[in-house]
């Protein structure tokens, strides 16, 4: 049975018996409690998630992509139209710029793990609501635990504020190292903003260099 249907049935409280040897999906995960999930269970839970209204308007969920043992993890806000179509984060114009920024820092896209706070696209790319974030954040938190990166790069105000639980504007969050339960976090401008304000790229590069120094990769680029 496809993982998505399995997760949906589990979420509805329907017990599904899987073939002997097949990996079961814990009901708690399919019901939206991913704290103890492994990668397959987490992916299935996200794919079948109906915890907020965004599941009605999405084409598909956008789980995250890249190296699941990455030293650097990148977190953005939410999928846009192109990401919703392709099922992968940062594949539109902003994604092209993010790839270029990572390349400049010495990373292939496949070497980092990239995810968003929200796994579904908000209609018209509006800001995520508090309720949507509350439902979705446990998935990202579990991804962070599973990847266990050495450094987290938050791109954009929403990702930074929601993950760090602060209200400060991005200009005050960037340029320094934050602590997320022992994980060093660097905040920088969202690439979509940098497309509109290219003169800020210099500051974004300084933020990336800060992340590289934390990784001990100062000479990598």
**Radius of gyration over alpha carbons of the chain, in Å?**
17
Contacts with ligand URA, 23-52, as mask; x by CB under 6 A? ------------------------------
Q: Identify which of 107, 109, 140, 191 has the alpha carbon closest to the alpha carbon of residue 34.
A: 140
The nearer residue to ligand URA, 66 or 156, going by C-beta atoms, is: 156
CB 216 → ligand URA: shortest distance, Å? Answer: 27
Order of strands across the sheet that contains 113-116: 65-66, 113-116, 72-76, 151-155, 183-188, 177-180
Q: Is position 10 an interface residue for ligand URA (rule: CB under 6 A)?
A: no
The nearer residue to ligand URA, 55 or 213, going by C-beta atoms, is: 55
Structure-block tokens of residue 221: 């680029």
Q: How far is CA 145 from the centre of its chain?
A: 12
Distance, in Å, from the CA atom of 110 to the CA atom of 119, rounded to the nearest integer, reads 19
Q: Is position 80 an interface residue for ligand URA (rule: CB under 6 A)?
A: yes
- The closest residue (CB) to ligand URA is 76
Q: Are 66 and 55 in contact (CB under 8 A)?
A: no
CB 204 → ligand URA: shortest distance, Å? Answer: 14
Contacts with ligand URA, 126-165, as mask; x by CB under 6 A? ------------------------------x---------
- Residues of this chain that interact with ligand URA (CB under 6 A) are 76-80, 83, 89-90, 94, 116, 156, 192
């Amino acid at each position: 049975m496809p993982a998505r249907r399995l997760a949906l049935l589990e979420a509805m409280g329907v017990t599904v018996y899987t073939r002997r040897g097949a990996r079961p999906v814990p009901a708690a995960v399919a019901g939206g409690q991913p704290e103890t999930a492994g990668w397959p269970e987490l992916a299935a839970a996200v794919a079948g998630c109906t915890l907020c209204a965004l599941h009605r308007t999405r084409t598909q969920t956008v789980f995250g992509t890249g190296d699941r043992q990455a030293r650097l993890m990148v977190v953005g806000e939410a999928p846009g139209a192109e990401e919703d179509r392709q099922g992968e984060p940062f594949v539109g114009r902003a994604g092209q710029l993010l790839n270029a920024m990572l390349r400049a820092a010495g990373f292939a896209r496949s070497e980092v793990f990239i995810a968003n706070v929200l796994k579904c696209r908000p209609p018209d790319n509006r800001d995520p609501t508090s309720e949507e974030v509350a439902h979705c954040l446990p998935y990202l938190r579990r991804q962070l635990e599973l990847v266990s990166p050495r450094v987290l790069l938050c791109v954009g105000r929403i990702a930074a504020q929601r993950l760090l639980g602060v209200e400060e504007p991005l200009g005050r969050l960037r340029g320094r190292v934050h602590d997320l339960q022992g994980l060093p976090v660097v905040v920088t401008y969202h690439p979509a903003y940098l497309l509109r304000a290219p003169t800020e790229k210099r500051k974004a590069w300084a933020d990336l260099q800060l992340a590289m120094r934390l990784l001990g990769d100062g000479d990598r680029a």
